[in-house]
Amino acid sequence: MNLRATAGDIFQAGSKTTSKTLSWAVCYLTVHPKVRAKVQNEIDSVVGDLRKPTVSDQKAVSLIE
């Protein structure tokens, strides 16, 4: 029973962290349109609009200043 509870806590904590991080990112990009434009330009230049992003696309990503 304890193992079940611990495993459940781990999965729940991971999903809440991801959810909060995505919410924060959306809010941040909403408030900062210049950063949002840089992010969109980077996505467009690396991925384009004809396919979905993949893990291998991370190699081509630069850090946004």
pLDDT for the residue numbered 60: 73
Whole-prediction pTM: 0.61
Q: Count CB atoms within 10 A of the CB of residue 4.
A: 8
pLDDT values of the chain reduced to their tens digit, one per residue, 65 residues: 788 888 877 777 777 788 888 899 999 999 999 999 998 998 898 888 899 988 888 877 766 55
pLDDT for the residue numbered 27: 94
What is d(CA 4, CA 10) in angstroms, rounded to the nearest whole number? Answer: 10
Q: Quick one: tokens of 13?
A: 């904590």
pLDDT for the residue numbered 49: 87
pLDDT for the residue numbered 35: 92
